[in-house]
């Protein structure tokens, strides 16, 4: 089972460690409360452009 997929761009070397830790906690929460759950989580940078 793939637990975590980290998306990296040319200008970004990956998410900060606290973001990865939060994603892992999110996955563990699903595994703990939903036995048999299989899934994955992707971390993506969101860019908001002002109108």
Question: For residue 35, is it within any domain?
Answer: yes
Question: For residue 51, is it within any domain?
Answer: no
pTM of the model as a whole: 0.62
Question: For residue 22, is it within any domain?
Answer: yes
What is the H or E stretch that residue 4 is in? strand 4-6
| pLDDT for the residue numbered 2 | 47
Counting Cα atoms < 13 Å in the Cβ hemisphere of 41 gives 17
Question: For residue 27, is it within any domain?
Answer: yes
| pLDDT for the residue numbered 23 | 87
Q: How many structural domains compose the chain?
A: 1
Question: For residue 49, is it within any domain?
Answer: no
Owning domain of residue 9: 4-43
Q: What are the tens digits of pLDDT across the range 1-50?
A: 445 555 555 466 777 888 888 888 988 898 899 988 888 888 887 777 87
């Amino acid at each position: 089972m793939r637990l975590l997929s980290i998306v990296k761009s040319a200008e970004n070397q990956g998410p900060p460690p606290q973001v990865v830790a939060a994603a892992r906690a999110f996955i563990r929460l699903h595994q703990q409360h939903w036995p048999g759950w299989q899934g994955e989580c992707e971390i993506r940078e969101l860019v908001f452009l002002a109108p």
